[in-house]
Chain A
Amino acid sequence: MNPFKLLLLAVGLVALFVAPIGQGNYIIYTLNSWLLFSIAAMGLNLTLGYAGQVSLAQAGFMGIGAYVTALMTLAGIHWIFAAVLAISSCFLVGLMLGYPALRVQHHFLAFVTLAFNTLLFLVLRNEEEMTGGSLGLVGMPRPDIFGLSTGGNLQFYYFTLVCFVCAAGVMWWILRSPWGRAFMALRENPIRAESLGLKVRRQTLLAFAIGSAFGGLAGAIQAPLVQFIEPHSFGLIHSLKLLLMVVVGGSGFFFGPMLGAAVVILLPEVLRFTEGYYLIIYSALVIVLMAYSPGGLIGLGQKLFDKFRPKQQARHDLKQGVQL
């Protein structure tokens, strides 16, 4: 990392720190949910962008995280323990779901996760004694961390920010470790990766399970943020939304999911004047983006940047000499 990038990163962090100061509750809430969805999308990016698997259950994993956290904190257990359990249960469910699916063909994980998300929705809705059915669960307390209350909206924003920075740090570390580089090797050329001794199936499975665990963390934050959870917040449509975040931002780029989450969360505000046509415009834009730049917005930016960047070129006048 060169100093320029470090500086940019520091500026970004400071911007995140000062962004909510002096803002109304609604803006703080929007920023907060942006951070939250960025965490979930970051996890999905590991599965999708680095390991090349389509998961359609990221919202389902957020649901598992949110319900586990909600049930435990409502029972009086501290958020930290609840969150640890939420994250590890998502990791385990990811392993159990991915193992059979990845035995077969690469697109099967998409179908298995699709079915899983729908099943989970049904369970959350039907098991009323435990999950409250379609009425959901209300009144999850916001945690006190080391004696600091996160009850206010601004305090909770900083709490989410800390979680977000930790999650991003962990993701950065995973991707830089030899172990994370294996994910990229896998995506670029699976056959070569395997011939170099990588266990393709085990790597993909781990990528999926870790990605799911990030979803669990996002869910664990969502429960005390919204203080109301119900099955519809974790339906298939939200998994698709998360998938779109990753793809629109740029799958396989570290900052892609953050950008994508910002676009998906802020675009409804920008396109509010179009009223009901918002989703129509949005989905048409996604199709166009996919046709022109499968790398998403970051990929598009990179393409444009490369076009205008001065390039090294061989001297044409020397060609003549060589041919002599």
Chain B
Amino acid sequence: MAEFLQLILSGLAAGSIYALAAVGFTLLWQASQTINFAQGEFVMLPAFFVLVGMTVLGLPLWTSIAFALVLSLIVLGLMFKKLVVEPMLPHGTLPLVIATIALGVLLKESVKEFYGATAQPFPAIFPQTVYNVAGASISLQDIGNLTVSMLAIVGLQLFLGRTRTGRCMQATAQNPNVAEILGVNVKRMVLYTFLINAALATVASVLISPIYLAKFSNGETLGLVAFIAAIVGGFNQIRGALVGGLLIGVIDNLSAVYISAQYRSAMPLILLIIIILVRPQGLLGTSEGRSV
């Protein structure tokens, strides 16, 4: 039982980080119908910005994180929107999908060439203390990760629901034409979405890199998990992405121990296929209806 609790907690902690990536993914889809196949690389990259800040510029950890956040907002938010998404949008979804796939390769290979192909140790944000609660060892890092990512998501929900800008963003996601008629600056709202995605990716990156080390190929698994979390939870709901992320984290952890370590990464995929078969709109999603 103690082991079970421990697995659930560390699963939730990992899952909450997946949820951050999945939420960003969902936001981009809602705001601009962008399926971002480079989302995993978006989470991989900010950790290297932090490392550059620390090793090349010699900044302390927290300043480097701020530096990484600013760089991510510029590169993964602004430049991604202006240079990749905007020129592609009039051509439809497919060229954009291909372009984000290519962008993922570009980011991955650039990190490999310019920073290094080996996994880099990443400084821990939280102390590595482990508490023993009723036989289960609970690490402070897991609690910290869970708290920070939950705070980020709750903060985002509040921003979207309670502020004027947030509601304008929701209106843009639901119907850009009507939103524009009602005086919402649609272009700016879409830009905000891209910036929020970049910020979420940075938070996820800083939280996950101390556990998995910073490596150029981290994005492959992270991206896949973010997709799965977003679809399992419901592609058009932020709550859905959150639930999906947490669920994937827990299932991943439990199946590694109780089912088969070899097929650990297969369980989320099987869950994905089951969800698509049984409840295609996702656990919390609402049906968008067929376009044809």
Of the listed stretches B8-16, B88-96, B119-127, B184-192, chain A binds: B88-96
Looking at chain A's contact residues, the main secondary structure is helix
Which chain A residues border B288 with CB–CB below 8 Å? 105
Q: Beyond A122-B262, A290-B95, is A284–B227 a contact (Cβ under 8 Å)? A: no
Q: How far is the CA of A294 from the CA of B84 in the complex (A)?
A: 13
Cβ-defined contact, B263 with A126, below 8 A:
yes
Is the C-beta of B290 less than 8 angstroms from some C-beta in chain A? yes
**B95–A122 touching, CB < 8 Å:** no
Q: Which of A100, A240, A243, A284 sits near B273, CB closer than 8 Å? A: A100
Residues of A within 8 A of B106 (CB): 279-280, 283-284, 287
Are B97 and A110 neighbours in the complex by a CB distance under 8 Å? yes
The residue of chain B having its C-beta at the shortest distance from the C-beta of A285 within the complex is B102
Contact A114:B227 (CB < 8 A) given known A119-B270, A287-B84: yes
Q: List A285-304 residues whose CB lies under 8 Å from chain B.
A: 286-287, 290-292, 294
Report the minimum CB–CB distance from A150 to chain B (whole Å): 35
B102 touches A54 (CB 8 A): no
Decide: B102 and A290 in contact? CB cutoff 8 A: yes
Q: Chain B residue with minimal CB distance to A200?
A: B292
Collect the chain A residues with CB atoms within 8 Å of residue B270's CB: 119
The distance in angstroms between the C-alpha atoms of A191 and B112, with both chains bound, is 46
Question: Which parts of A77-128 form the interface with B (CB within 8 Å)?
Answer: 100-101, 103-108, 110-112, 114-116, 118-119, 122, 126
Q: Mark B98-111, 1 if CB is under 8 A from A, else 0.
A: 11011101100110
Any A CB within 8 A of the CB of B224 = yes
Interface residues of B in 243-292 (CB under 8 A from A): 262-263, 265-266, 269-270, 272-273, 276-277, 280, 288, 290-292
For B292, give its contact among A190, A240, A243, A290 (CB under 8 Å).
A190
Q: Is A244 positioned at the interface, with any CB of B under 8 Å from its CB?
A: yes
B261 to chain A, nearest CB (A): 10
Q: Which residue of chain B lies nearest to A193 when distances are taken between CB atoms in the complex?
A: B292
CB distance from A130 to the nearest CB of B (A): 14
Say yes or no for A188: interface residue by CB 8 A criterion. Answer: no
B201 within 8 A of A: no
Task: Give Cα A115 to B223, complex, Å.
Answer: 12
Residue contact A277 to B113, C-beta cutoff 8 Å = yes
CA distance in complex: A280, B87 (Å):
20
Complex Cα spacing A54 to B288, Å = 20
**Residues on the A chain within 8 Å of B94, using CB:** 48, 52, 54, 247, 251, 294
Our pick among A107, A279, A290, A291 for the contact of B105 (Cβ within 8 Å) is A279
- Verify A122–B266 contact, CB threshold 8 A: yes
A48 to B91 alpha-carbon distance, docked (Å):
15
| A247 CA to B270 CA, complexed, in Å | 29
In contact, B269 and A118 (Cβ under 8 angstroms): yes
Query: Are the C-beta atoms of B292 and A100 separated by less than 8 Å?
Result: no
Chain A residues with Cβ below 8 Å from B95 are 247, 290-291, 294
In the complex, B200 has a CB within 8 A of chain A? no
Q: Give the B interface residue count (CB, 8 A).
A: 42
Give the residues in chain B near A100, CB-CB below 8 Å. 273, 276-277
Interchain CB contact (< 8 A) of A276 among B84, B97, B113: B113
Cβ contact of A240, chosen from B101, B113, B280, cutoff 8 A: B101
| Residues of the B chain whose Cβ atoms lie less than 8 Å from the Cβ of A200 | 292
Q: Is the CB of B231 closer than 8 A to any CB of chain A? A: yes
Say yes or no: is B35 at the interface (Cβ < 8 Å to chain A). Answer: yes
Which chain A residues (239-279) contact chain B, with CB distance < 8 Å?
240, 243-244, 247, 251, 276-277, 279
Q: Does B27 contact A (CB under 8 A)?
A: no
The answer to whether the Cβ of B146 comes within 8 Å of any Cβ in the partner chain is no
In the complex, the answer to whether A287 meets B109 with C-beta atoms within 8 Å is no
Mark out the residues of chain B between 51 and 109 whose CB falls within 8 Å of any chain A CB in the assembled complex: 84, 87-88, 91-99, 101-103, 105-106, 109
Interface check A144, CB cutoff 8 A? no
Return the chain A residue nearest B114 by Cβ. A280
- Measured CB to CB, the nearest residue on chain A to B281 is A104
> How far does the alpha carbon of A291 sit from the alpha carbon of B85 in the complex, in Å?
9
- 11 CB < 8 A contacts A-B: A108-B231, A119-B266, A194-B292, A276-B109, A276-B112, A280-B113, A283-B106, A287-B102, A287-B103, A290-B99, A291-B95
Smallest CB-CB A-B distances: 9 pairs: A104-B280, A286-B102, A294-B95, A283-B106, A291-B87, A294-B91, A115-B269, A283-B102, A283-B105
- Chain B residues with CB under 8 Å of chain A are 35, 84, 87-88, 91-99, 101-103, 105-106, 109-110, 112-113, 220, 224, 227-228, 231, 262-263, 265-266, 269-270, 272-273, 276-277, 280, 288, 290-292
Q: A115-B269, A247-B98 are in contact. List 15 more A-B contacts (CB 8 A).
A: A111-B272, A111-B276, A115-B273, A122-B262, A126-B263, A277-B109, A283-B105, A283-B106, A286-B98, A287-B84, A287-B103, A290-B95, A290-B96, A290-B99, A291-B99
